[in-house]
Amino acid sequence: MPEYLQKVTDTLREVADVSSSVIEWIEGDELVYRAASGAAARHVGTRLPSAGSLSGLCITRQEALVSRNTATDHRVDRAACQAVGAASMVVAPVIHEGRSVAVLKLISGEPEQFGQADIAILNAFCACIAETIAREEIAQEHRRLVEQHASVSATLSVESSLRVEFEKKLADALRRRRTVLDNAHIAFVSIDEAGMVIYWNEAATRLFGWRAQEVMNRELAQFIVPERHRAAHRAGLTRYLATGEARVIDTRVELPAKRRDGSEFTAELTISEVWYEGQRQFTCFIHDITDRLRATEANQRLRLLIDSVSDYAIYMLDSNGIVRSWNDGAHALYGYTAEEAIGRHLALFYTPDELGRDRPGDIIRRAIEHGRVEHEGWRVRKDGSEFWAHVTLSAMPSKEGSAQDFVAITRDMTSRRRLEELEASSRRMNEFLALLGHELRNPLAPIRNAVSILKLKASDDSDVIRSRQIVDRQLAHLTKLVDDLLEAGRVSSGKIRLTTDVVDIADVVHLSAEASQPSFDARQQRLVVEHTGQRVFVNGDPTRLVQALNNLLNNASKFSPAGSTITLEAGTRGGTALLRVSDQGRGISADALGAVFDLFVQEHPPGAHADEGGLGIGLTLVRAIAELHGGHVEAQSDGPGKGSVFSLWLPLAQAAAHEPPKLAAPEPSANRQLEVLVVDDNRDSADSMTLVVDMLGHSARAAYNGEEAMRRFDERRPDVVLLDLSMPGVTGFDVIRGIRERAGGGGAHVIVAAMTGLGSDEDMARTRAAGFDAHLIKPVDLNEVEAVLALAAR
């Protein structure tokens, strides 16, 4: 019984999703914690007075009660509530034979957590507990009666030669038998072959209302069977006597029964054939199974309730892992209907790599060994998309020697997993990206200005033109890397958006291999592409997918020795697109495998290896891009020095035609000469920008700090100010405040553009609020400079 009660509290806590569930047993004027799950488990055995508590009131009224806030509810024992952390709770009585024997309780650490649905769940579980108590008492009584009856039968079979000697003992045994039967809690009746009553105990009187002297030697059916069913009852009894059924021990039948007052109920009759003094008789144990039927009905209602739960996938498995039941929540989570899922193996929901490691079989073996297993991992929906799942697999109670069944409860925890990762790295990321983004953009600014000068300065020298183009391309690439660094923060906070299209994996492979080829050439490495030739399509952003695969290829090159071979495999596995990069390089230790995708995490400290640089964001971007596409990425390695394998899994899509995006035309340049003041504490950046402005046909001056900027502004009012924000001492925000304060002297009519390495939406909103007319992100492109000058000219 204690194991059963504990299983009830465990199951109830999972179904109701609360912090604690408790069964309080009534012992006199006290309530004893007989079983508890969750936060209240440590209080098992605690005794509390029933008076002055919500449970005591529930026992008195014999109805479920709810305390929405224990801090303000006068009906509760507040000290006891504080001890178990109950801010709100709901209680229901377990009623057996018209009296309360226990109280079933749900506890939450938050107020206002319970409603009618929770009361319905509690009542269903209370009915199950009451039925179990009744069946246990009946079973014990039945066993005692059967044992006593066997003793009496053995006594009756004593040889006739010893009958006189043991006659007194037999009489004593008969008296004891009668005493037992008269005081039994189960109705016991004996009838002869004609169906006439020859014995009727007190329990039968309590059950049916007829006294023994009123029914003796009269037909049993007249007193316990409703008139409309008597013909069928007599026919069944005749068939029972005439066939071999009578020789079957403990034949059980259900039949409609009635009491003396005319009320009807469903009874279970256990009938056995016995011989007594040479006469054939039949013993009948009869009990009211109305409570059992109600419990069965309650179980059916509980099943309906489970089937209606939509936030949890709840399904049953047999010992072989075959699905036996499937609720609406499972349909909503996995996409399979009950008809599609029932009868299929648990492996249906696992990724191909998990299946290769026999993960489903391992989970079932652990559940058999420990009774309950909780784990998290990737699961696959019907449409091929994947989600991070929290799964609880619990073994169900089974009879001795019977096969074990399991109940599985699955939740989609993808959002929680991303949130946990975000919370773990957000503080480091925000501080680091704000500083690093600005610091990396500052040296890029004069380089971009220099490239713009080369573009504006005509040259017929092919080598000069080619060199300018190389610098321009590499500068654009470096700028993109800086953008990716800042984008890592946007990905972690969920602010990134994909441009979704149908993408051919072959195109992704081609563009990624082409972009990574210079890295392979520099290290004399060979890239081998293994492709089945079959066209594979996915729904996704082609730029992001190329970015992800390019990061994996560059990583493989970076951590592999010169002259080695890197393999890129592209194809499908189990209805999923697969991009797998394998190298023969340094490998990854088992301890580091679980953290290689975390932001800013590297296996070795900086400087430990000459070829190991970077900031630890590439693999984080790969994982984010994979999950935004409904897939995931995995890392595998046999250990240091044994190479690494990175697998990118993506849901398949149907092929469809698409057009490349159209580029917007650049802004026209200004058509009158302007006076421009360039302010930047980076001298190269300021000087190179003044050259760009001069070559565009305007007049530019440079200032290298905030104080100098204000002096030069007062000396000669410019038309345009290109103003750096992050300067020591007097910042760009201080400078624009001084410019706008000079409204009477023309400060209000000056076009002021912020030049900064900070480019988030918050940064742009801040510059707009400070009075800036434009926000230029370093390195500033020539077209953007021309657009600001055109604005000033207009």
Strand, helix or coil at 612? coil
Q: Tokens for 621?
A: 């971007």
Give pTM, 2 decimals.
0.38
- By DSSP bridging, strand 313-317 and strand 20-27 are unpaired
Residue 271 region by backbone torsions, left for phi larger than 0, else alpha for psi between -120 and 50, else beta:
beta
pLDDT at residue number 403: 65
| Separation of alpha carbons 235 and 182, rounded Å | 30
| Separation of alpha carbons 284 and 314, rounded Å | 42
Question: Which residues make up the CATH 3.30.565.10 domain(s) of the chain?
Answer: 501-651
Question: Which residues make up the CATH 3.30.450.40 domain(s) of the chain?
Answer: 2-135
| Separation of alpha carbons 233 and 240, rounded Å | 10
The CA–CA distances, whole Å, from 672 to 688, 696, 783, 794 equal 21, 10, 17, 9
| Separation of alpha carbons 620 and 596, rounded Å | 8
| Number of neighbouring beta carbons within 10 Å of residue 358 | 12
Phi and psi at residue 605, in whole multiples of 5°? -65, 155
pLDDT at residue number 775: 93
CATH tag for 308-412 (out of 3.40.190.10, 3.40.1280.10, 3.30.450.20, 3.30.70.330): 3.30.450.20
pLDDT at residue number 545: 92
pLDDT at residue number 283: 79
pLDDT at residue number 167: 55
| Separation of alpha carbons 182 and 528, rounded Å | 90
In sequence order, the 6+-apart residues with CB closer than 8 A to the CB of 715 are: none
DSSP secondary-structure letter at 14?
H
pLDDT at residue number 662: 38
Q: Tokens for 274?
A: 């016995």
Instruction: Report the CATH superfamily, name and number, of domain 186-292.
Output: PAS domain (3.30.450.20)
67 beta partners = 89
User: At the topology level of CATH, where does 675-793 sit?
Assistant: Rossmann fold (3.40.50)
Domain 501-651 classification at class level: alpha beta
pLDDT at residue number 489: 59
| Separation of alpha carbons 398 and 335, rounded Å | 31
pLDDT digits (tens, 9 = 90+) for 602-655: 655 544 454 554 556 778 888 888 988 989 999 999 888 899 999 999 999 875
In sequence order, the 6+-apart residues with CB closer than 8 A to the CB of 30 are: 47, 48, 49, 50
pLDDT less than 50: residues of the chain: 246, 606-608, 610, 613, 656-670
User: At the topology level of CATH, where does 2-135 sit?
Assistant: Beta-Lactamase (3.30.450)
pLDDT at residue number 577: 92
The answer to whether 570 and 578 are in contact (CB under 8 A) is: yes
Question: Which residues make up the CATH 3.30.450.20 domain(s) of the chain?
Answer: 186-292, 308-412
Question: Which residues make up the CATH 3.40.50.2300 domain(s) of the chain?
Answer: 675-793
pLDDT at residue number 488: 61
Q: Tokens for 674?
A: 């302007």
| Exposure class string for 727-764: b at 16+ Cβ within 10 A, else e | beebbbbbbbeebeeeeeeebeebbbbbbbbbbbeebb
DSSP secondary-structure letter at 162?
G
